[in-house]
Amino acid sequence: MAVSIAHLGPSGTNTEAAALQYANWLTATEGQDAQLHPYPSIALSLQAVAEGAVDVAVAPVENSIGGSVTITLDALWQFGNLQIQSALVLPIAHVLLSRANTIEAIQTVYSHPQALAQCQEWLKKFLPAAQLIPINSTTEALPHLEDNPTIAAVSSQRAAQLYNLPILADSISDHPDNCTRFWILSQQPSPGGRHTSLAFTVHDQPGSLVKPLQVFASRGINLSRIESRPTKRSLGDYLFFLDLEADAREAVVQATLAAVVNHTETLKVFGSYNVLPIGKGEARGRY
């Protein structure tokens, strides 16, 4: 039976490219067939896994230029029953697609907010007067380019081929080494690995954040990322996402997490995992 994989659609998105990489890895290493299922938003793709409609989801979590993908983080905290199975890192190369004869004719540019952020310096330099419109994905607006030569979209070379659209400008990312880290998520227990991701809330009192961080430091566990997100309960109320360079199956890590519980309001461990050796993967060191 094929593994069903949810991802952000429509076809041609970078998340679909990551899902295809994961599907090919499953076939090559596990001998499993895979079937891709596009969803109109990241949150809906994760909801599909949380509700058991599909087996796994591939979701972007962090970009080297634009930073964290907050929709993924918020959904992971909200659903609570998803575990990270693995991660992969994919090089991202943005292009500008349009039926316009010249760049100067473009009045509006559509794309996912992350893609617009990753090309903001290029857009500021070459399209300073254009209106930038954030949408659900890098391919959502592509069907509309056919009928309007004043609009453009930041998308991918693969999308240009799929939708038969001309590339008006290529290599428009602000930094050439642009890449995105994706998580593969399911309801299955996490398999373990060199990286652990978790999140917690703390009590509203002085020193409430430093105490759990000191627990990790005192046991020699390195934190490779920490980020705050609003809990959405009230202004100034935050939860904190952490990445550890450790495996939660190890006794010292389990003891550390047990100690962290004493200094947090709510603690959720999303699993321990490895970075798959596809895309840029382990070649980037930490991620």
Residue 97 to residue 78: CA distance in whole angstroms: 35
Which alpha helices (DSSP H) does 164-221 contain, by range? 210-218
Half-sphere exposure in the Cβ direction for 180 (13 Å, CA): 25
CATH number at residue 235: 3.30.70.260
**Segments forming the whole domain that contains residue 163:** 95-169
> What is the 8-class DSSP label of residue 258?
H
Contact 153, 133 (CB under 8 A): no
pTM for the full predicted model: 0.90
Statement to judge: residues 60 and 184 lie in one domain: yes
Q: What is residue 223's three-state secondary structure? A: strand
Instruction: State yes or no: pLDDT of 193 exceeds 90.
Output: yes
At residue 280 the predicted structure's pLDDT band, cuts being 50, 70 and 90, is low
- 233 φ, ψ (degrees, to nearest 5): -85, -40
Same domain, 15 and 80: yes
Asked whether the predicted pLDDT for residue 285 surpasses 80, the reply is no
Residues 86 and 80: their CA atoms lie apart, in Å, by 17
* Span 32-44, pLDDT tens digits: 999 999 999 999 9
Please give the tally of structural domains in the chain: 3
132 and 209 inside one domain: no
